[in-house]
Each structure stands twice: as C-alpha cells, then as structure tokens.
Amino acid sequence: MGLLRTAARASVAANVVGNVQRRQHQRWAAEDAAAAAARPAPPAPPAPAAPAASTNDLLDQLTRLGQLRDTGVLSEAEFDSQKQRILAGT
C-alpha cells in the first residue's frame, strides 16, 4: 500500500507543477503582448528625396528638346508633353 500512496502523491505533485508552469507561461505571454502593444511603433525611415535638378540642367534639357522640335524630330504635342515632364521634375 505504501508504494501506491507514494505513486499517487508523485502524480499529484507532477500535475500541480505542470499547472503552475502553464499558468506562469500564459501570464508572462500576456504581459509581453501588453508591453509590445503599449510600445510605440518605430518611426518609418524617411523616403529618400529625389535629387533636385539644377536650373542649368533644366535649361539644357529644354534647349535640347527645343532643338529636336525645330529639326522636326518631335511634334509640337510631343514637345509639350516632354516639356511638362521636365518641368514637373519626373
């Protein structure tokens, strides 16, 4: 009878330890989730700014575009659309 009693006590003790560990794990996971939710998200890195074309570059592009129009390579509509693209900076 002593052996059965010892085995029963060991079984109960193992169950108690397992239950305590499971509850601690759940509590710690909930605390970690709450801390992560309370922590502000890191700011997104700023988008790199497009390099601004200098005034001389814009004038050179427009001059070449005008020369292409004058020689007949570009139509007036193509010239206007490309001029708007250059002036918009895209």
Residue 64 scores a pLDDT above 70 = yes
Domain limits, the chain: 1-40, 55-88
Per-residue pLDDT reduced to its tens digit, 20-62: 999 999 999 999 999 888 888 778 777 766 666 677 888 899 9
Q: Are 79 and 65 in contact (CB under 8 A)?
A: yes
> Residues near 66 by Cβ (< 8 Å), separated by ≥ 6?
79
CA distance 10 to 5: 9
Higher pLDDT, 10 or 45: 10
